[in-house]
Amino acid sequence: MEHEPGDWIPSKAQQTGTKEIQARMGSPVHRVSLGDTWSTQVHPDIESERYIQSFNVERLINILDGGAQNTALRRKVESIIHSDPEFSLKDNYFMTQNERYEAAVKRKFHLQTIAKRQGWSEGSPELYYSYRTLSGDLAFSIHMVFLKSLKSLGSEEQIAKWAPLCNDFQIIATYAQTELGHGTYLQGLETEATYDAATQEFVVHSPTMTATKWWPGDLGRSATHALVQAQLICSGARQGMHAFIVPIRSLQDHTPLPGVTVGDIGPKMGFHHVDHGFLRLDHVRIPRENMLSRFAQVLPDGTYLKVGSLQINYLSMVVMRVDLLLGEIIPMLQKACVIAIRYSVIRHQSSLRPSGPEVKILDYQTQQHKLLPQLATVYAFHFLASNLLKFFHSSYSAILNRDFSHLPELHALSAGIKAMVSDLCLQGTELCRRACGGHGYSKLSGLPSLVSRVTASCTYEGENTVLYLQTARFLVKNYLQVHGSLGSTSQIFLPKSTAYLTTPYQARCPAQKAADFLHAKLYTAAWAHVAARLIKDSAHHLQTLMQSGADWDEAWNQSTVLHLQAAKAHCYYISVKNFTETLDKLENEPAIQQVLKRLCDLYALHSILTNSGDFLHDGFLSGTQVDAVRTAYLNLLLLIRLKENTFCCLKKKRKR
């Protein structure tokens, strides 16, 4: 290259130095960090905050983990993962979608190698902690959904055949339910599985374009088999949705099998490491034994046999909803709270008084108002999901023994709680992002990725509005069982979650001052009142429409906004009641009980203020009482800010 007179020409030493800098800056992480090493030192502002704890942090961590032994095991797993450079996530934000997928596959199989070496079995706590430590940035998560569905819906013989193949990754499987034309409305799924008695095979077919399976993870590039949810047709009759294991790619060269069209759906808002795909089936034949048959089967001659109700085929969705709460959804808000609150004690901005020093932004009431209710919500949801998991395990054992009595309540609870948790975790995570100002807009803060990831949870495993309405059907049914037609009351026992519908209404809240609203029984009763009233109103509106000539379906559709409000209020009541019951079990931990009681109070009062119209509507609360709720709430913000550091427990528990 020719240089013009007067051009600056770098010396050889300068040229050499420039090349060295360029080489050093080759890594995208170094380009951002200017080559600085990653600091392991604790910021002095955070260190100072940790000196003012009023409780034993380690003990609270043990409680959150479910015991000291679980804490020790979790930390051991985290140490193994963090010390292995193969699991580094530092380059993630600089990778393309293809690179993210390939890195996730490598991490998955590297983890499998470590698991085999360490003796970690499939479904073990160690693998759960590994997944959490890696923020779920692993391939083949839907492969595990297939395995759980197999164990829920498959016979013992089917489990014995397919589970070892999954565990050893001799096959890679996916769960194919959602279609281009239908998602949460499972009865509308168009994929068909028609039984051919002459060959004892099912013919699985996508009859329309909208029957194309769309969105299953691990399907786009990876899966060799799919658990296809399809409408069963045998002996000329439709028997509803059932699950079928369908081979889709060759185990020799991974090419699509005859009759199979499969591929990746392309760029998405998030989950860039997952190969979400599409699947069309053109009269693909599979053996009769490939229909999962724990609760239903087709005999060689085409006779259809079932155990329990058809709704049992939805069990795999219930399993996933419960698992996702603690494994995928709640951790997004936990991490967002840790990031935003830590940022808020490091970031100094403006002064509280003229000529005073700049203060931590967490000292501003508005910042406390943004973040501390999210922290309280995280604790409320952790305990809520943990207790739902216990109820699920007891119900699931009964279901596998063909006792389906708890299934309706389990379905209603899992649907409503999944909808509420994902809705509020999305709102809270975005609020945490905005509370960090411009830095929250940078992907390197971690917050945008948390927001985009939790956004998906409002849709997958059931769109939230539809789930709320499924809960509402259960609530209306329970209400009408107790109260029958308008005005009448009959004696009947309801499930535990709706037993409050049988108690007399309390017309007015007895609170007289702000301190009264710090009594757990008072605000739990307040939420019970609002939930019961809204359920009553929705049921009465439904009956009134039917008495005016509308049929059930039309009347239901014309009252769904009321049903939605009722279901949300019911879920708030369940979450508040669950938090207070959790506190009752901590009477031997007075310091921890006290700090969690303040978070419980904050969660309950914030929810009342957010939905104050529902409490004012029938005069249960007066305007003066709402003012008292606000006074108690604002006092709690200051008290929690000055005396508690419960976010430290989330940091230590959720170390990334």
Side chain identity, residue 87: F
Q: Give every CB contact of residue 364 below 8 A, 6+ residues apart in sequence.
A: none
Residues 414 and 437: their CA atoms lie apart, in Å, by 35
In degrees rounded to 5, what are phi and psi of residue 343?
Answer: -60, -40
Q: What backbone torsions phi and psi does residue 305 show, to the nearest 5 degrees?
A: -125, 140
CA angle, 457 as apex, 66 and 187 as ends, to 5°? 110
Catalytic site residue from 461, 581, 587, 644: 461
For residues 632 and 629, give the distance between their C-alpha atoms in angstroms, rounded to a whole number: 5
Q: Which residue shows structure tokens 């590297």? A: 110
Determine the Cα–Cα distance for residues 547 and 544; give it in Å rounded to an integer: 5
CB 645 within 8 A of CB 52: yes
Report which residue type is found at 391. Answer: F
Q: Give the number of other Cβ atoms within 10 Å of residue 314's Cβ.
A: 19
| Residue 277 CB burial class (10 angstroms; 0-12, 13-18, ≥19) | buried
Judged by DSSP in three states, 280 sits in strand
For residue 202, the surrounding DSSP H or E stretch is: strand 201-205
How far, CA to CA in Å, does 652 sit from each of 60, 72, 276, 586, 649? 11, 12, 33, 21, 5
461 is catalytic: yes
Determine contact, residues 432/385, Cβ cutoff 8 Å: no
Show the tokens assigned to 116.
């085999």
Instruction: Please give the DSSP secondary-structure letter assigned to residue 36.
Output: P
User: What is the Cα–Cα distance from 344 to 336, expressed in whole angstroms?
Assistant: 12
List, by residue number, the catalytic residues: 461
